[in-house]
Amino acid sequence: MKNAAGDWDADRYLPGELIEAGIEVVDNRTWVDHPEIHTHFTGRLLGWTFRRHWYYWAASCRDNPQDGLDLEFAQPMHELVGQEVRLAGHCGCPAPKDLFWMEKLDPRDRQLISRAEYKKVQTSSPLMRKLCKEGMAKLVVTDDPSEYAKAHGRIVAVSYHIDTQEGLNIFASTLKMAHRVKEEREKNRERKEHYRNLESQRAMEEMEGKYSEESVHAH
């Protein structure tokens, strides 16, 4: 991607990069807060925001981890374009399956933290405790976040730096595919629940009918 740093005409081509990838263009009506990128535009897709930096797009859903990209989709994408769609913006291009840069969520999509990390914050300086207090209140403490998330919750990616147009296109397509799969699974879950309820209702009606019939015979 073109290095947009210091380019006062970046608005001419940045929206086109988002549009090509199928990402909604957001006109902020004012300059986006960035010391070197002069643009009015950001991107938005399925809970993720896209902000242009020098030669890459920074994609994030850190404030909405429930919209994160699940490991089952993040890892195959990494194997395809992991050198240009960089997990957590890391220059070493870590693999999602290593889990270190992935967020771990419980069944209610709340972020998990290990007891060891929690104790570090509790024993840190008063200023650090004060700064972390609000965020820590939203976390769930467990012995091993990765193992707990594997068994009961989700492991998701919440930020990337994307260096190429092809990478941006593939990333957006992956988000959309993951969203479709998630929706279909939810529909299937609702269908199964519906049929279970019908079966329970039918069984109850049969029991009530049998009880009524036995009562009639008894009298």
Cβ neighbours for 179, distance < 8 A, ≥ 6 positions apart: 46
Which pLDDT score, from 0 to 100, does residue 121 have? 72
Helix (H, G, I), strand (E, B) or coil at 92: coil
Q: Kindly report, residue by residue over 2-61, the tens digit of the pLDDT.
A: 999 999 999 999 999 999 999 999 999 999 998 899 999 999 999 999 999 999 999 999
Cβ neighbours for 4, distance < 8 A, ≥ 6 positions apart: 10, 14, 37, 39, 52, 53, 54, 55
Q: Kindly report, residue by residue over 67-79, the tens digit of the pLDDT.
A: 999 999 999 999 9
Closest C-alpha among 151, 161, 156 to residue 178: 156
For residue 5, give the DSSP letter: B
Between residues 11 and 127, which one has the greater pLDDT? 11
Interatomic CA distance for residues 39 and 15, integer angstroms: 10
Between residues 194 and 81, which one has the greater pLDDT? 81
Helix (H, G, I), strand (E, B) or coil at 16: helix
Closest C-alpha among 92, 94, 85, 81 to residue 57: 85
Which pLDDT score, from 0 to 100, does residue 139 have? 82
Please answer whether residues 52 and 77 qualify as being in contact, where contact means their C-beta atoms are separated by less than 8 angstroms.
no
User: What's this model's pTM, rounded to 2 decimal places?
Assistant: 0.82
Closest C-alpha among 10, 94, 104 to residue 51: 10
Q: Mean pLDDT score of the chain, rounded to an integer?
A: 88
Between residues 168 and 186, which one has the greater pLDDT? 168
Which pLDDT score, from 0 to 100, does residue 211 have? 60
Flag whether pLDDT at 181 surpasses 70: yes
